[in-house]
Amino acid sequence: VQFVESGGGLVEPGGSLRLSCAASGFTVRLYAMGWYRQAPGNERELVARISSTGGGINYADSVKGRFSISRDNAKNTVYLQMNSLKPEDTAVYYCNAPSLGPYWGQGTQVTVSS
């Protein structure tokens, strides 16, 4: 099982980023997928979750209305569109299939700062 996250970077408050997660080593289309983040000194938290078909989506209250999760099962890829970014969104972002267990990639750093 492997997850490779990309698309992070440095952005000013109010800016946007689109993260990608390439998943492999399992039948991706059969699993719900999630984006998580971990800021220094904090526990890893679930930011957004999408069902296997994409029909069910949930967001953490802190990102509702600003972030959008999607997936392309043909490409085994999950995306996180992040708009109206805030400094408190600064963290390392990871993706995972929650029911598979604690498999984690290297993550992608998102820094929101002026």
* Each residue's pLDDT tens digit, 60-72: 999 999 999 999 9
Give the pLDDT confidence score for residue 87 in this predicted structure: 97
**Residue 86 reports pLDDT greater than 90:** yes
d(CA 18, CA 82): 6
Q: Which pairing describes strands 9-11 and 67-72: parallel, antiparallel, or unpaired? A: unpaired
Q: In this structure, how many other beta carbons lie within 10 angstroms of the beta carbon of residue 88?
A: 10
- Check: CB of residue 82 under 8 Å from CB of residue 66: yes
β-sheet with 9-11: strand ranges across: 9-11, 108-112, 91-96, 33-38, 45-50, 57-59
pLDDT (tens digit, 9 = 90+) per residue, 46-58?
Answer: 999 999 999 999 9
Q: In this structure, how many other beta carbons lie within 10 angstroms of the beta carbon of residue 112?
A: 20
Token pair of 57 as six digits: 């989506």
Provide the pLDDT confidence category of residue 2 given band limits of 50, 70 and 90.
very high
Contacts of 63 (CB under 8 A, 6+ apart): 47, 48, 82, 89
Amino acid at 18: R
